[in-house]
Amino acid sequence: MRETLSIWWFAGLLLLAYGVIILLTGIWELSHPLVPPPVLNRLHPAIWWGGVLTLCGLGYCVRFRPGRR
Protein backbone atom coordinates (compact mmCIF):
# COMPACT_ATOMS: atom_id res chain seq x y z
CA MET A 1 0.00 0.00 0.00
CA ARG A 2 1.32 3.49 -0.86
CA GLU A 3 2.12 5.83 1.97
CA THR A 4 0.82 9.39 1.78
CA LEU A 5 3.12 12.37 2.26
CA SER A 6 2.37 14.81 5.04
CA ILE A 7 1.56 18.38 4.06
CA TRP A 8 3.77 19.47 6.98
CA TRP A 9 6.79 17.88 5.31
CA PHE A 10 6.18 20.08 2.26
CA ALA A 11 5.73 23.09 4.54
CA GLY A 12 9.08 22.23 6.11
CA LEU A 13 10.70 22.07 2.68
CA LEU A 14 9.35 25.53 1.85
CA LEU A 15 10.52 26.98 5.16
CA LEU A 16 13.93 25.43 4.64
CA ALA A 17 14.26 26.76 1.09
CA TYR A 18 13.17 30.29 2.02
CA GLY A 19 15.35 30.25 5.12
CA VAL A 20 18.47 29.29 3.18
CA ILE A 21 17.79 31.96 0.54
CA ILE A 22 17.23 34.71 3.13
CA LEU A 23 20.24 33.58 5.19
CA LEU A 24 22.54 33.64 2.15
CA THR A 25 21.19 37.08 1.22
CA GLY A 26 21.94 38.34 4.73
CA ILE A 27 25.48 36.96 4.58
CA TRP A 28 25.98 38.59 1.19
CA GLU A 29 24.78 41.93 2.61
CA LEU A 30 27.55 41.78 5.22
CA SER A 31 30.18 42.17 2.51
CA HIS A 32 28.06 44.47 0.28
CA PRO A 33 26.39 47.00 2.61
CA LEU A 34 23.55 49.14 1.33
CA VAL A 35 24.14 52.88 0.84
CA PRO A 36 22.64 54.55 2.81
CA PRO A 37 22.10 51.73 5.31
CA PRO A 38 18.60 51.18 6.70
CA VAL A 39 18.04 52.22 10.32
CA LEU A 40 18.16 48.71 11.83
CA ASN A 41 20.75 47.33 9.42
CA ARG A 42 23.30 46.90 12.22
CA LEU A 43 21.10 44.16 13.73
CA HIS A 44 21.34 42.05 10.53
CA PRO A 45 17.67 40.94 10.47
CA ALA A 46 18.10 38.85 7.31
CA ILE A 47 20.66 36.64 9.04
CA TRP A 48 18.47 36.18 12.11
CA TRP A 49 15.26 35.58 10.16
CA GLY A 50 16.98 33.26 7.69
CA GLY A 51 18.48 31.26 10.55
CA VAL A 52 15.12 30.92 12.31
CA LEU A 53 13.35 29.82 9.12
CA THR A 54 16.13 27.34 8.32
CA LEU A 55 15.96 25.77 11.78
CA CYS A 56 12.16 25.57 11.70
CA GLY A 57 12.24 24.05 8.23
CA LEU A 58 14.79 21.45 9.31
CA GLY A 59 12.65 20.64 12.34
CA TYR A 60 9.55 20.09 10.22
CA CYS A 61 11.46 18.05 7.63
CA VAL A 62 12.89 15.74 10.30
CA ARG A 63 9.67 15.47 12.31
CA PHE A 64 7.38 14.74 9.36
CA ARG A 65 9.79 12.99 6.95
CA PRO A 66 8.31 10.30 4.71
CA GLY A 67 8.63 6.76 6.01
CA ARG A 68 8.70 7.77 9.68
CA ARG A 69 6.15 6.14 11.94
User: In the prediction, which pLDDT does 37 show?
Assistant: 87
User: In the prediction, which pLDDT does 5 show?
Assistant: 87
What would the pLDDT profile of 25-43 be if each residue is shown by its tens digit?
A: 999 999 999 889 889 999 9
Q: How far apart are CA 66 and CA 5, in angstroms?
A: 6
User: In the prediction, which pLDDT does 2 show?
Assistant: 76
Sign of CA dihedral 26, 28, 34, 37: positive
Q: What are the CA-CA distances from residue 34 to residues 2, 13, 24, 52, 54 (Å)?
A: 51, 30, 16, 23, 24
Q: State pTM to two decimals.
A: 0.88
What would the pLDDT profile of 1-26 be if each residue is shown by its tens digit?
A: 677 889 999 999 999 999 999 999 99
CB 16 within 8 A of CB 58: yes
